[in-house]
A and B are shown apart, each in its own frame.
Chain A
Amino acid sequence: MSAQAPLAPAPAQGTAPAATFEPVIIGFTCNWCSYRAADLAGTARTKYPPNVRLIRLMCSGRLDPTFVLKAYAEGADAVLVTGCHPGECHYIEQNYKALRRFRLLQRTIEALGIEPARLQLVWASAAEGVRLANEIARVTEEVRALGPLNWPAGNMVDLDAFNLDAAWEATGGDAGGPPAAPDGANPEHAAVAR
């Protein structure tokens, strides 16, 4: 994320040419299935978008929701969680736990204004390299259409290094500036122009 104007969101989605936006997607994979699926895709020379950065976990059940929130806070546009198909977990039933965490986390991020499509769950067995590649391509295009997330939280610590007023104006600010003096008010008591 750039250092200037942390409060200013990215240019409105309409103004930036969509083609130039390359989403950053953090992908969590399970050691026993989806990581091997990604491996298989590589061995088979199946192409998938480089937007996804894969991180291997031992199991999708290892996915702490903290990882997902940290990804958003530090600049990821989306998070893709992958794991074994229901009933095929190496650790018996931990992927069900992952599913429940995913559903609850998705509701929570939605309440915080993050589009649910920025958190996706895909099941992929070790044999499904092509399927995983296709899913990664689909998620990438969905996130590309959503535009950048640009979560400013990581920069908020240094908020004071920035001009708050300028940042506030850049976010749209109070439309039309401070309200006009109400009728009957002393015209000399005009608010200072900001």
Chain B
Amino acid sequence: MSPTAKSSGAAKAAPEAVPAAAKAAAGPAAAAKANAKPKLAIFGAASCGGCDIAIVNIHEHIVDVAAAFDIVLWPTIMDGKYADIEAMADGEITITLVSGSMRTDETVHLARLLRRKSKFMVAFGSCASEGCIPGLANLSSRKQIIDTAFSTTSTDNPDGIRPVWEYQAPEGVLHLPEFEPMLRTLDQVVDVDYTIPGCPPESKQIWAVLEAVVKALNGTGPLPPKGAVLGAGESTVCDECARKRDVKKIDRFVRIQQVAQFDPEICLLEQGLPCNGPATRDGCGALCPAVGAPCIGCYGAADGVVDYGARLISAYASVVEAQKPDEIDKVLDGIVDPAGQFYRFSLAGSLLRSSKAAWNTDGEK
């Protein structure tokens, strides 16, 4: 595999003057060396590509990655054929990073294929681990999603054409990846060994994880236990946040555009801005609250949290001061979109996984 690595190696080893015989001798040796490297696959599934950019953002370390691994598949960055993966022995790929969610039967098929061929399967980023923004599609039924995509006023589709998954053309039956009724996370489809959270994961964290993996493969470092969350902390964003917390009582929730200036020193939640820090895993460095924007929860649930939204509901309810039902309702009116606030990144991975609209299509025409 990896014709790129092989040819560049051959180019280095064989200047123009070298006889053909020497070139031929260098060829198998280079191939054997390439084969000795652990194989790495990076697969996008349903994702925006931001995770791939975050990986490339480790800058010159990407050369170290290429030196340490034989990259067999990374559709965003390089050519690689699914057929080559299919031809591999089971477990031949050492580590596979899947950075997207399971949206179509094609992504599900490829996730299964890569699982079979890989020793370690990593849910890389928020989409793979908890659904992320694409997971908000689980608030609607498949029909609603397709209608919105193909027949809203901004779409020029006078014939009301809809995608079909199988199509009889004169040349034969054409297949499109089928859009599944619900978006799923990677671990709802295949067994996952490790999770790297974040939307996208911070590049320095990615490098730290890859470094640790290389060490573990060399036998100079420990292998994390199965199921571990890598490249992140074990506490919450609040623990990393430099803002001061003291009153822990609020009498209103506001939206960020309703307030001209927030106090730069004090906890945003205490200032009434719904901040997801109390439920969100640390590891990002609390970048958003540091610049005055609330945490939106992209690093997923903190350690020990079963349902991200439930934890956040609990946290918010604890800081509201009101005690009478009508006063409580007045404060809670400030959270205009509870499902979006509490499950922006984690709906598909939550206990309920979707809204009722996604699966109950009674009476839908």
Whether A192 pairs with B360 at a CB distance below 8 angstroms is: no
CA distance A180 to B364 in the complex (A): 19
Within 8 A of B (CB), among A133-183: 151-153, 156-157, 159-160, 164, 167-168, 171-175, 178-179, 182-183
CB distance from A21 to the nearest CB of B (A): 16
* Contact residues in A for B316 (Cβ distance below 8 Å): 104
Cβ of A113 under 8 Å from chain B: yes
Nearest chain A CB to B160's CB is how many angstroms away?
6
Q: Which of B343-365 contact A (CB under 8 A)?
A: 350-357, 359-365
> Which residues on B sit within 8 Å (CB–CB) of A12?
362
Tell me if B's interface is mostly helix, strand, loop or mixed.
mixed
Query: A165 to nearest B CB, angstroms?
Result: 9
Chain A residue at minimum C-beta to C-beta distance from B146: A174
Instruction: Bin the interface of chain B by size.
Output: 35 or more
B338: Cβ under 8 A from any A Cβ: yes
Instruction: Please give, as numbers and ranges, the residues of chain B lying within 8 Å of A103 by CB-CB distance.
Output: 317, 325, 328-329, 332
- Contact between chains at A160 and B168 (CB < 8 Å): no
Provided the pairs A104-B316, A168-B142, A168-B181 are in contact, do residues A112 and B356 lie with their beta carbons within 8 angstroms? yes
Q: Is the CB of A97 within 8 A of B317?
A: yes
Of the candidates A68, A99, A112, A164, which one forms a contact with B355 in the assembled complex, judged by CB atoms under 8 Å apart?
A112
Distance, CA A160 to CA B108, complexed state (A): 9
A18: interface (CB < 8 Å): no
Contacts of B363 in A (CB 8 A): 172
20 contacts between A and B (CB under 8 A): A9-B359, A69-B350, A72-B351, A86-B323, A100-B318, A104-B317, A107-B335, A107-B338, A108-B313, A111-B340, A112-B352, A153-B351, A153-B354, A156-B353, A167-B181, A168-B142, A171-B361, A182-B161, A189-B169, A192-B168
Please give, as numbers and ranges, the residues of chain A lying within 8 Å of B355 by CB-CB distance.
Answer: 111-113
B159 close to A66 (CB less than 8 A): no
- CB B8 to nearest CB in A, in angstroms, measures 41
Number of interface residues of A (CB under 8 A): 54
For the complex, is B182 an interface residue (Cβ under 8 Å from A)? yes
Task: Show the binding face of A for B, using Cβ within 8 Å.
Answer: 7, 9, 12, 64-66, 68-70, 72-73, 86, 93, 96-97, 99-101, 103-105, 107-108, 110-114, 151-153, 156-157, 159-160, 164, 167-168, 171-175, 178-179, 182-183, 186, 188-192, 194
Interface residue? B143 (CB, 8 A):
yes
